[in-house]
Amino acid sequence: METDCVTVTSYVLEQRKKYPGATGDLTILLNALSTAIKACAAAVRKAGIAKLFGLAGSSNSTGDDQKKLDVLANELFINMLKSSYTVKVMASEENENLVEVEIPKQGKYVVCFDPLDGSSNIDCLVTIGSIFAVWKKPDHATDLMECVLQTGEHLRCAGYAVYGSACMLVLATREGVNGFTLDPSIGEFILTSPNMRMPEMGAKGSQKIYSINEGYAKYWDKATTEYVHSKKFPEGKEKPFGNRYVGSMVADVHRTILYGGVFLYPATKDAPDGKIRLLYESIPMAYIVEKAGGASSDGQQSILKLQPKEIHGRSPIFLGYKGEIEKIEKLYQQYP
Ligand code: AHM
Ligand code: MG
């Protein structure tokens, strides 16, 4: 057994030392998040036997049926964060309105999260995940909505957990991106992928993969249609891109960071802003990809520059190799 390993807690504590004025609140907050994620991981693992599959009988803010696991994961995130005394207000995919922490328990952070992403994959045992984004309450902010509606440029940190063949917590801070794998025998996240970087396209070990729900091709705009066509039918001797689509954004983006490629959830005729929600899906994932050396865009600019206007607002999203995201933006200039 490894006796000298770095856990997520010791990693965050070490980072804190770099900022002498730091209060330690972010360390406590991340500890609360990691506890919520460990509990979600345990629930995901025993979902079948504990009868956590299926619908819970209620709907979430966007009208989707809620699954039992979604409800449980949401309660875990909210309760762990509340009892950390570090959070002022939260926004969750599963709550229509903001969740304000009781005043005696309030702290200075704002957390937006999707407690269980990829919920259509729960019942068939395919990888799902959790996503979170952490901001500080702006000094001048007077109301809760103002605290929450911040751009990705002001993020303090963001992360996701993948509940796959193993459970990994990927945490992006100003310092970079680090991956921690859950060792279930001791219940700790151990640093297994320090300083995660997307491979450069064409570099040894990198892959050329595009990831999109191809079934909506009929409803795509011209720029997305042209881009995807160019990946399937490249000019000259260039080989086409491969295609992978899990349908859980966490899994698709995790693979994109590890192997390389592009992830796309564009606008469609029926959904001009796409499907992916800005505050707790697009912004944190874009922050992580950019910190890992990739790029993000809504077709025009970095996702981190977009100003969220409502809690559950959406945007088209393109993530991955810098050069590919540039190509997509050029196509959007050509076909606005
Ligand atoms: P969810 O939060 O309700 O699970 O929806 C978000 C998910 C993403 O994880 C994934 O990229 C996308 O929905 C898949 O949508 P589609 O089935 O339309 O391709
Ligand atoms: Mg989601």
Check pLDDT > 80 for residue 1: no
Inter-axis angle of helices 283-291 and 249-259, nearest 10: 10
Q: Is residue 160 situated within a structural domain?
A: yes
**Bridge-based pairing state of the strands 157-163 and 65-67:** unpaired
The pLDDT mean for the chain works out to 93
Q: Is residue 203 situated within a structural domain?
A: no
Is residue 215 located within the same domain as residue 186? no
Is residue 58 located within the same domain as residue 171? yes
Q: Which residue has the higher pLDDT, 336 or 92?
A: 92
Average pLDDT over residues 259-281: 97
**Domain termination site, one of 134, 169, 195:** 195
Please indicate, yes or no, whether the overall pTM of this predicted structure exceeds 0.90: yes
pLDDT in tens, 194-225: 999 999 999 999 999 999 999 999 999 999 99
List residues with catalytic annotation.
64, 70, 93-94, 114, 116-117, 281
**Domain termination site, one of 163, 195, 227:** 195
Q: Is residue 314 situated within a structural domain?
A: yes
Q: Which atom of ligand 1 is nearest to the CA of 120?
A: 4
Check pLDDT > 80 for residue 66: no
pLDDT value at residue 301: 98
Structural domain harbouring 317: 209-334
Q: Is residue 1 situated within a structural domain?
A: no
Distance in Å, CA 56 to ligand 2 centroid: 17
Q: Is residue 303 situated within a structural domain?
A: yes
Q: Which residues line ligand 1 (CB under 6 A)?
A: 64, 93, 114, 117-119, 213, 247-249, 265, 275
* DSSP per-residue string spanning 30-90: HHHHHHHHHHHHHHHHTTTTTT--SEEEEE-TTSPEEEHHHHHHHHHHHHHHHTTT-EEEE
Distance in Å, CA 68 to ligand 2 centroid: 15
**Domain termination site, one of 195, 224, 243:** 195
Distance in Å, CA 215 to ligand 1 centroid: 13
CATH at residue 81: 3.30.540.10
Is residue 97 located within the same domain as residue 123? yes
Is residue 112 located within the same domain as residue 215? no
What is the tally of structural domains in the chain?
2
Site to substitute for ligand 1 among 243, 275, 315, most atoms within 8 A of C-beta = 275
Q: Which atom of ligand 1 is nearest to the CA of 62?
A: 3
Q: Is residue 201 situated within a structural domain?
A: no
* Closest ligand to the CA of 247: 1
pLDDT in tens, 75-127: 999 999 999 999 999 999 999 999 999 999 999 999 999 999 998 898 888 99
